[in-house]
Amino acid sequence: MEKSEKNPLLAGLFNMLVPGSVNIYIKKNWRKFILTFAGMIIVLAIVIWAGVSLQGSRSFSLPQGVCPGVLALIVLVPLFLNGLNAAREYNKILEDKVLYDSRKPVSQDDDDEQLKKIQKMRDEGLISEQQYNTRKSKVDSKK
């Protein structure tokens, strides 16, 4: 199963709309999703309750819903940024792995297998034509 890059904007939106969903989208970790979801629902409920309470007090003369909305944004924006950063970090790790695999010396398989691997790496753009020719000549010289 080949891993694919994750869209950071989509991860941020998922995480903001369904707190903790980035754990499923990127890491496939259901346990962490459930714990994060439950915790963030409690936090959001408390924040909205506090906003409604502040809004209802006589000392604030803000339009209806402004205080709870602002307090909810204080929670939702970090959720969005957390999802965004998680996807970016995942993509960076994936790129680093591809780079590492492309520079890793070909294993000591039989010559035909080595040539197939080198050809595949060249076809996928992981190594240049010059690197391909160098590695191929090393395999050919062993024959």
Rounded (10°) angle between helices 129-142 and 111-123: 180
Q: Is the pLDDT of residue 126 over 90?
A: no
Domain ranges of the chain: 1-103, 105-143
Q: What is the pTM of this model?
A: 0.62
Write out pLDDT tens, residues 32-70.
Answer: 999 999 999 998 888 888 877 877 776 666 666 677 778
Q: Is the pLDDT of residue 93 over 80?
A: yes
Q: What is the 3-state secondary structure (H, E, C) of 5-54?
A: CCCHHHHHHHHHHCCCCHHHHCCCCHHHHHHHHHHHHHHHHHHHHHHHHH
pLDDT of residue 103: 74
